[in-house]
Chains A and B, each alone.
Chain A
Amino acid sequence: MARKVENILRNIDWHIVVIYVFLVFAGWLNIYSAVFDENATSIFDAGQKYGKQLIWIIAAFLLAIGVLIFDSRFYFKFAYIFYFLIILSLVGVYLFAPEIKGARSWFEVGPLRVQPSEFAKLATSAVVARFMGRYDFKINRLSDIVKLGGLLALPGLLIVMQGDAGSALVFSAFFLVFYREGMPFTIILLGVYAILIFALSIIWGGLILSIIAVVLCYLAFFLYGMQKAHKISIVKMLLVPFAFVIPAVVYRYFHIDSSVVVIFVIGFVILFVPVAFYTYKKRVPTLLIIFGIALGSVFISQSVEYVFTNLLEAHQRTRINVFFGLESDPQGSEFNVIQSKIAIGSGDWMGKGFLNGTQTKNDFVPEQSTDFIFCTIGEEWGFLGSFVIIGLFVYLILRIMYDAEQQRTAFSRIYGYSVASILFFHVLINIGMTIGLMPVIGIPLPFFSYGGSSLWGFTLLLFIFVKLDANRTELIQ
């Protein structure tokens, strides 16, 4: 046993551990400052947030030590069971939990509030690592993709149903893991393209964006057809637009009382036949790809309205509209961002000093201790403090990815990348929203934000990797 402990101590990556401890304590100081009040009694006052957080922190340290002591094979072996339990609790929380802040995300166990979704990231990381780490896993095989998608979609959808779309969005971080594991880069580009289409559809409206996308794809097709090697007759190419124009004219002329989508559906159906025929005959997929992009673009831009009205809550719609400058709501959801920018912007080089933040201390920024904890850093520790914190997060993430590459098992490597990607996604969104570069999505800043579930979730997530990394010489299989 003593030797084992010695082994662990020698093998664990102290860079990660030291940064973790530093970030957790920096987080606690900032929570202390954010809720600080001159009349407060003791810093250990368990009635105050910082008092509670101190208890969570001690518990988190115990958890971390426990994780390190446990046999690393446990995490591999129990991945599916753990995943199953989390799914159960997500269902349970949806069915039985009380509604808090518009979401059913918390179990109340006595004085404790546990948020299963914070642990779902961890369970999903393990299960994804285990599934993708199989010898016979092929990232290009459809059946594997479907299964993998299912593993992600199941907790993701359950969390959306709870009313916590922000946390569900975190699962998109796994695309970075997939990329590392061989997913073509094109998919990432397509993802970025899809987000762009979605965003522009919100700003300019779905119809305009559909038309732009179709016209651009048609131009691509035209350029392709003009090339000598493919030589499609001009007449044929000029006929293509009529697939959309004729239905459009009919639609206008007869005042058909249905969505404009019909025009696009008819157009794409008409065009699909020649495209499929051409692709089959020439055995060149280019036309089919252009067709697919056009179809996908129209699908995304036309579905924006549906997503907006049916999948998003009113406050989420407002946040997105505010972010794109389509709506002004300085008293409401925009207020957070304005106040957050003011707090951070007033920090200057060195900040106002610990406990001296005027904006943070006097409750100008809502959700100060949780989602907007970065304001306190920006205001009280200034540019320098913010720089250091961002720098530490970057170092931590890069370090995890570096360590992940050193792993001998696919499971450990994939799990490592999952940890890095999730951390990155949280930092990207959370800090981005406090400085107005991202829409307001309520997800915590890892290790900083107030809340036991979040801290424990991230601690477990991180230390399981630290443990796997420490044991990398022992083959898991």
Chain B
Amino acid sequence: MDLSNRRILLSAIVIGVALLYIARLFYIQIVDDSYKLDALNNSRRFEVHHPARGLIYDRNGKLIVANEAAYDLMVVTGQIKDLDTAELLSIINVNKDLFLTELKKAQKSRFRPYPIIKQISAETYARLQERLFDFPGFYVQTRTVRNYPYHCGALVLGYISEVNNDDIKKDSYYEQGDYIGKIGLEKRYESYLRGVKGGNYYQVDVKGRVKGSLEDGKYDKTVVLGKNITTTLDIELQQYGEKLMQNKKGSIVAIDPKTGEILALVSSPTFDPNSMVGRLVSENYNKLVRDPLKPLYNRPIQGVYPPGSTFKTVNALIGLQEEIVTQNTMYGCLSGYYSGGLHVGCHNHVSPINLIESIKMSCNAYYCNEFRSIMDAPKYGSVREGFLKWQSYIKAFGLGKPLGIDLPSEKSGNIPRAESYDRTYGKNRWNSLTIVSLAIGQGEITETPLQMANIAATIANKGYYYTPHLVKEIDDTVFDNSFIQRHDLPIAKKNFDIVTEGMYQVVNGGPGATAWWLAIKGLDICGKTGTAQNPHGEDHSMFMAFAPRNNPKIAIAVCVENGGFGATLAAPMAVLMIEKYLTDTITNTWREQQVLEKSISYKN
């Protein structure tokens, strides 16, 4: 028997195995990419360097958003060895279940560092640091967190929190565990404040020990520090405003009329921005979300209210500019306005009165007459045309659209439209009487407190305003401030002089003026009260003002929800704010005390 042929089968077995192995190698080396990714994750570690976030200053250079060190306990599960959980927990003092669930999450990747316990305290860090070698796989990463030394301005300044999946989807810059501005300036100026994170690539071995830099740092990225921002806010005024607003719902907006710089933007109720830092963030946040008084609602730019009597100044200016009335035009008032079965009430005052007195005493009848005179003026040909002319003026005042403040989510308010009247009453079936409530700032018109303050600023400037804004400058950066624009109104300066005189009389006109008891000698405050009718309860108390009369430095709007007459609550608050800002002292502490103690209970 010749057995030498058996070599063929033996050779075939050898070749067959070789082919099988080569096919397998082809698959894992060429076809399947997952091993390459695993290899990368295995062997390189990117140590991220987070730049310090930009600081935020107020207009006087006071630090209002600071950074402080925080310590995150990190874990690389692949490096854990003989973990004594109980021992570790006793040092960091953390709930065991929480720790174990986080550890489970961390175990999804053996090699990637995972922040297992965030923001451990400095003392815990110090204690842990000494024992860290007992817990291989664990280390502490230092990070900075925000600190708000003045404990105010939460909604203006905003806060930062960890990115969620949406944030990562929108911008690939972010990775799990990064922080992002969520609201306010932190959000609006995120790209300046955050800087650019960098870091170094290292080669690591199986135990996670660094074996040197990766290709001599070819891929390393340098860190760019976050930019510091100087805001227009006067933090002490902001703080004072929030103090005045305590236990009330409402807003205060103070603007430097010459520049459009916002001095204070108070929303009440509010919260301490420091509560959005630290381990209790989610607990605190949920509390805010559930609060029926909606502290997360930024009222000065998101709340919309009928302007009430403060709007009479606007109507006066339109009538003057359109030469429907002059400062000497007189209308009578018999405790109200009566026409065709309609009655608009008014309070007792002398009659008839001229335009300046009408502002001083806030006469409803005067403005009903004046407004209807505009609408019905023969020069327009029809009420519709008259209405459209009127509408073009109120648009020029910045109503009906967002002003463009550098904060997210500004509301536009509402201005009446001829089309919607057509829908409600039938085309051209409406007349000046139908819409007469606009004369006194009621009806279909609403505005944000910011818009009201902007009107005050416009009157203070006698015919123009700058887009209200919060940021003055950004360090080392040409700050794109093109959104700040000067808006000139098609209304003559002399007409503003007349209305200004009226507003001056409101405060300084002696008995009979709506806010005469608030006059402060030397401050020359010009103001206008407003009481916005509120179908749901007590009227809203409004006041807009600027001061001093010549060379105004501050324009302000105050709105207290359910605060009653404008003169009773909003006006004294505005005056206190003005006095605080202009003189830095409060002369009438009794008035201040009253405002502070005033507490309004809200049902819902």
Contact = CB atoms under 8 A, between A and B. Distances in A.
Interface residues on A, range: 35 or more
Interface in B1-48: 1, 3-4, 6-7, 9-11, 13-15, 17-18, 20-22, 24-26, 28-30, 32, 34-36, 38-40, 42-44
Contacts of A361: 203, 211
B212 A397 contact: no
Given A345-B28, A346-B38, A362 B204 contact: yes
B22 A397 contact: no
Nearest to B34: A345
Contact of B25 (A182, A185, A378): A378
Interface in B437-494: none
Given A176-B10, A345-B29, 10 more contacts: A179-B6, A179-B10, A180-B3, A363-B207, A364-B206, A383-B29, A386-B25, A390-B22, A401-B11, A432-B21
Nearest to B215: A356
Contacts of A328: none
Residue of B3, B11, B21, B38 with most partner-chain A CB within 10 A: B21
At the interface, is chain A mostly helix, strand, loop or mixed?
A: helix
A273 B32 CA distance: 58
B87 interface: no
Interface stretch (A97-105, A119-127, A149-157, A336-344): A336-344
Nearest to B80: A331
B21 A345 contact: no
Interface of A: 38, 176, 179-182, 185, 330, 339, 341-349, 358-359, 361-364, 378-379, 382-383, 386-387, 390-391, 393-394, 397-398, 401-402, 404-405, 417, 420, 424, 428, 431-432, 435-437
A349 B36 CA distance: 12
Contacts of B110: 330
A401 B203 CA distance: 46
A220 to B, nearest CB: 26
A345 B35 contact: yes
B30 A383 contact: yes
24 contacts: A180-B10, A181-B3, A339-B42, A344-B29, A345-B38, A348-B29, A358-B42, A358-B43, A358-B203, A359-B43, A383-B25, A383-B26, A383-B30, A390-B22, A391-B18, A393-B18, A394-B14, A401-B7, A401-B10, A404-B7, A420-B10, A428-B17, A435-B24, A436-B24
Given A181-B3, A343-B39, A383-B30, A362 B203 contact: yes
A348 B36 contact: yes
Contacts of A330: 110
B28 A344 contact: yes
A132 B11 CA distance: 21
B205 interface: yes
B29 A349 contact: yes
A431 B206 CA distance: 22
Contacts of B3: 180-182
Interface in B87-129: 110
Contacts of A428: 17
B35 A346 contact: yes
A339 B4 CA distance: 43
Contact of B205 (A343, A362, A383): A362
Contacts of A185: 9
Given A349-B29, A383-B29, A180 B6 contact: yes
Contacts of A417: 10
Contacts of A362: 43, 203-206, 211
Contact of A363 (B9, B15, B206): B206
Contacts of A397: 14
Nearest to A366: B206
B28 A341 contact: yes
Contact of B15 (A38, A359, A394): A394
Interface in B198-214: 203-207, 211-212
A420 B11 CA distance: 10
A197 B54 CA distance: 70
Nearest to B211: A362
Contacts of A345: 28-29, 32, 34-36, 38-39
Nearest to A382: B29
A38 B35 contact: no
